[in-house]
Chains A and B, each alone.
Chain A
Amino acid sequence: MYNFNYQKATSRDDAISARSSADDGSYLAGGMTLIPTLKQRLAKPSDVIDLAAIDDLAGITDDGGAITIGAMTTHAAVANSDVVASKIPALAALAGHIGDPQVRNRGTIGGSIANNDPAADYPAGCVGLNATIITNKREISADDFFTDLFETVLEDGELITAVSFPVADKAAYAKFPNPASRYAIVGVMVAQTGGETRAAVTGASQSGVYRAADIEAALGDGLDAAAAKAVKVSADGLNSDIHASAEYRAHLISIMASRAATAAG
């Protein structure tokens, strides 16, 4: 780790002003990505601004037709939330299978989506469930938020404050984990919300989370699992690494989509 200034923000405004006055500041949420990056000396921020003490960034609220999750809410809190379990059980299940207990008790939804790891679970959750990302400046549809590997539309210093998920009629997430990291080799969120069917895929594409149009068409209104399984997904543009070939990922997309569809019922 290189030296940096540590600042513990006490409010959203405090955090935003600390970030804007820093040469090269970085917000710190759960630290599950940022701290290892610092330890390996892969990043050299001048200032690290800790969001942990900002009370109103964490928590889950039930807005009737949607639930809103504060940016600093941990994966464990989402996984164990009664509200989430009753309104959008697929989301609770997704959070409950991120990493390991230590990671779930530190890692946050805001940190996860700001980071937009191409193998992370929440991006598929946000896109599949048609969530809205709320920042200190604006509200952004998940469809527009994730732009590329580790890239989002967030501007320099923009702070995610919450994510709002409309309550789905049906939804399930199926993940095939990487055996080593337990991130997703392929994860598919299948959801039907307000009559719209979505299948959002993480882990597979060279440009991060995306909606699989061919799978969505096959699933149709009835979430037809067999039809999803029968889709021959092209391996073009998919990742290939020591853990999985592009062909294997392509195959897993239809398998995971069909399993999610079955689970969503």
Chain B
Amino acid sequence: MSETGIGAAVRRVEDKRFLTGRGKYIDDIDQRGQLYAWMLRSPHAHARINGVDTATASQAPGVVAIFTGADMAADEVGGIPCAWQIHNKDGSPMHEPPHPPLAVDKVRHVGDQVAVVIAETKAQARDAAELIAVDYDVLPAAIDMDLALADNASLVHDDVPNNLCFDWEIGDKDATEAAFAKADHVVSIDIVNNRLIPNAMEPRAAIAQYEPSNGNYTLHTTTQNPHVIRLLMGAFVLQIPEHKLRIIAPDVGGGFGSKIFHYAEEAILTWASAKVPQPIKWTAERSESFITDAHGRDHETHAELAMDKGGNFLGLRVSTKANIGAYLSTFGAAVPTYLHGTLMAGVYTTPAIYCEVKTVFTNTVPVDAYRGAGRPECTYLLERLVTKAAREIGMDPVEIRQKNMIQPDQFPYQTPVALEYDVGNYPASLDTALQASDYAGFEKRRAESESNDKRRGIGISTYIEACGIAPSAVAGALGARAGLYESAQVRVHPTGSVTVYTGSHSHGQGHETTFAQLVSESFGIPIEQVEIKHGDTGEVQFGMGTYGSRSIAVGGPAILKACNKIIDKATKIVAHILEASESDIEFKDGKFTVSGTDREMAFAEVSLAAYVPHNYPIEELEPGLDENAFYDPLNFSYPAGCHICEVEIDPETGDVDITNFTAVDDVGRVINPMIVEGQVHGGLAQGIGQALLEGCVYDDSGQLLTGSYMDYTMPRADNLPNLNVGTQSVLGASNPLEVKGVGEVGAIGSPPAVINAILDALAPLGVDDISMPATSAKVWQAIQNA
């Protein structure tokens, strides 16, 4: 193994530029002749637009142009598309109401864009925007999902009755009813998965540029998947062919899902850049991020678990309402369905499962994938329900899990909800976590807390997730409108250094290190010899981008496949030069040797021979050492694990202190343990944030009450304990790297562990439910109400 290969805790090569302020984010980039855009946004959640008067504003200093929805409509600009099509129970397709980039006749959420002002400075653009007179007829807003579904509800889209986007189901309803009919115990739960605001550190930004001499467009944008934006915006919205449209996503400061989606501002700027025609920059203010970046979660679920006398799970029935916001965002329809309903088996052998999901339009910001996307919602309800079931039948929460877990010898395991788990060992993760958290010593710690008038509790979550969002055929069958292959190009230069072009995008994950480690391992060269390029459709052949923990699970094997193609070709070249048979050539530690001889060629000698050959098998092989690969995995990958949270509560104030948090995650093969640990830490911060701190609140009129950090609580370092994290991996079986993905495990597994711990602490006081975020105020109130 090379010292910088697979398994090495190599320091992140990208951190040098990030930590020294040399990262290059979009707002750091300026183009010659650049103008600035300011979006005039709706202050109302729902209103009819009778007219937009831009006459005065157009005369304001520095203003170059002002465009409205009518201008874009006149140009026949298309609507923002949704990349997944979901079908109703009756087989009919979901409602896909139009989503014009600039509102045309109605605004549908606070923050919906109404006009764009383009001026010489940002301040001038903003000043002028205040002079635009929009004549609104304010309409009642549909905010609460139940009210939105009611017959007399105000309609977000006039042609979508009851605001119901679709009514979807998965699983065998009859078999599930039958399971409930013979059950000895039925435990039910009503649960809300709180709405979250993503809050990437870098707000969204874009610069659009049009070159009149050749009709080429370049859009710098803060995206997790530049090729997807090229496809969606180019083909569906603006009709710009790929060779005329270049998307560049340079350093991007965090995404967490919120930068997957094709946003209206990208299309508005690109379109307007040809009108002006000068480069146009737009950078969101933080307050704009709160009201325009797609939000996450926001489910309301009723779920029931049927058990026999011994606590064996017989059936699960789940009915969810999912808020999709005002418009269908890129992945919006996939999150509450195929990323949620398909995980309902969890790590358990529940034989019959039925899940239905009603997805509801409301006058709120669109809701879409956010770290975990659908899987945290599923895990939260399952792990709350299983814990509640244990309590109701008087069984230990560990025992009920052990009893119902899929055992290591049951793989591949076909669940009743479409997925086939490839491999895993759930009991082992649970055992390891019980040890690591000193579960056995808990009662002693509880007694100590009680002697200090505190309440102590411990909570478990044993979770699974599906990562990769591929194989493409499966994704297609589930409604994805595109296959989700990943692509890589490995270019070995004449002297043996390597440039890799990957379709995955790094916005904090450390790909420039992890991917370089794969190449280092493959070729036996140090990572200093490897450069990872991503984020530019003008450089990278193709790609589906980064989300769903897919970069290592789908992007990684694509790189490996291209590396293997390089080794195959190099082997042929070596065989020719060393006059040996190909089958006698061995490649190890960066050297090709003819087995049984001392004849050898170093990797760099072969690459030189490949580019500037004197002696070359030109009839059989072309010169060069540059290979492309597309990879589609055999199956999703299934990271799983066990999180255990211990809390101490001050019953006088309701303050919850997490004293210990243990995470044991099965992420398959670990390429870089330091990066894996960092990913888990970040995910846990977000999961604990969801459980204790973060909650998006709208009032009944659709005004966002948590529109800044004064009211929206982001987790901070002092909210977290020292995290006790470790991996306990069974190598993945669905890709040749044997990896599973690590980006989302922390956010998926942790929230129910926290809430189960709080409820464990408060059970003696008679508290049996609490909703997220479990703020001190809520905990105190729950104690008062008990």
Contact = CB atoms under 8 A, between A and B. Distances in A.
A and B co-occur in one complex: yes
A245 B693 CA distance: 17
A40 B287 contact: yes
Given A176-B653, A179-B713, A255-B652, A243 B777 contact: yes
A247 B713 CA distance: 22
B616 interface: no
B41 to A, nearest CB: 14
B709 interface: yes
Given A179-B775, A242-B697, A242-B705, A252 B713 contact: no
A1 interface: yes
Contacts of A3: 123
Given A242-B705, A248-B777, A181 B123 contact: no
Nearest to A40: B287
A85 interface: no
Contacts of B775: 179, 243
B712 A248 contact: no
Nearest to B699: A242
A124 to B, nearest CB: 18
B706 interface: yes
Nearest to B130: A41
A244 interface: yes
B239 interface: no
B781 A248 contact: yes
Contacts of B711: 180-181, 242-243
A247 B777 CA distance: 10
Q: Is the interface of A mostly helix, strand, loop or mixed?
A: loop
A242 B123 contact: no
Contact of A248 (B123, B693, B714, B780): B780
Given A242-B697, A243-B777, A1 B710 contact: no
Contacts of B709: 180-181
Given A243-B775, A252-B653, A255-B652, A181 B710 contact: yes
B581 to A, nearest CB: 68
Interface in A1-40: 1-3, 40
Interface string A168-181: 00000000100111
B777 A244 contact: yes
Interface residues of A, number: 18
Contact of A251 (B127, B287, B713, B780): B780
Interface in B611-669: 652-654
B379 interface: no
Contacts of B653: 176, 252, 255
B776 interface: yes
Contacts of B713: 179-180
Given A181-B711, A252-B653, A1 B123 contact: yes
B706 A242 contact: yes
A245 B775 CA distance: 12
Given A242-B705, A252-B653, A255-B653, A179 B776 contact: yes
A247 B780 CA distance: 10
Given A179-B693, A179-B776, A255-B653, A245 B710 contact: no
Nearest to B126: A41
A1 B285 CA distance: 12
A242 B781 CA distance: 13
A211 B245 CA distance: 66
A3 B654 CA distance: 46
Contacts of A244: 777
Nearest to A176: B653
A152 to B, nearest CB: 22
Contacts of B705: 242
A251 B706 CA distance: 25
Interface in B763-780: 775-777, 780
Most B CB contacts (10 A, CB to CB) among A3, A180, A244 go to A180
Nearest to A252: B653
Contact of B710 (A2, A176, A180, A248): A180
Contacts of A255: 652-653
A2 B287 CA distance: 17
A255 B287 CA distance: 35
Contacts of A181: 709-711
Interface string A37-65: 00010000000000000000000000000
Contacts of A185: 777
Interface string B97-141: 000000000000000000000000001000100000000000000
Nearest to A100: B716
Contacts of B123: 1, 3
Contacts of A2: 127
A108 to B, nearest CB: 20
Nearest to B693: A179
Contacts of B654: 248
B226 to A, nearest CB: 31
Contacts of A247: 784
Interface string A234-265: 00000000111101100110010000000000
Nearest to A249: B777
A30 B653 CA distance: 33
A1 B780 CA distance: 41
A191 B338 CA distance: 60
Contacts of A1: 123
B620 to A, nearest CB: 66
Contacts of A251: 780
A88 B710 CA distance: 30
Contacts of A252: 653
B712 A180 contact: yes
Nearest to A181: B710
Most B CB contacts (10 A, CB to CB) among A3, A185, A248 go to A248
Contacts of A242: 697, 705-706, 711
A255 B714 CA distance: 26
Contacts of B776: 176, 179
A181 B705 CA distance: 14
Contacts of B784: 247
Contacts of A245: 777, 781
A134 to B, nearest CB: 31
Contacts of B693: 179-180
A255 B711 CA distance: 24
Interface string B672-716: 000000000000000000000100010000000110011111100
Interface string B146-163: 000000000000000000
Given A242-B706, A248-B780, 4 more contacts: A2-B127, A179-B693, A180-B714, A181-B710
Interface of B: 123, 127, 287, 652-654, 693, 697, 705-706, 709-714, 775-777, 780-781, 784
Closest 5 A/B residue pairs (Cβ): A180-B713, A181-B710, A179-B713, A244-B777, A248-B777
21 contacts: A1-B123, A2-B127, A40-B287, A176-B653, A176-B776, A179-B713, A180-B709, A180-B710, A180-B714, A185-B777, A242-B705, A243-B711, A243-B775, A245-B777, A245-B781, A247-B784, A248-B777, A251-B780, A252-B653, A255-B652, A255-B653
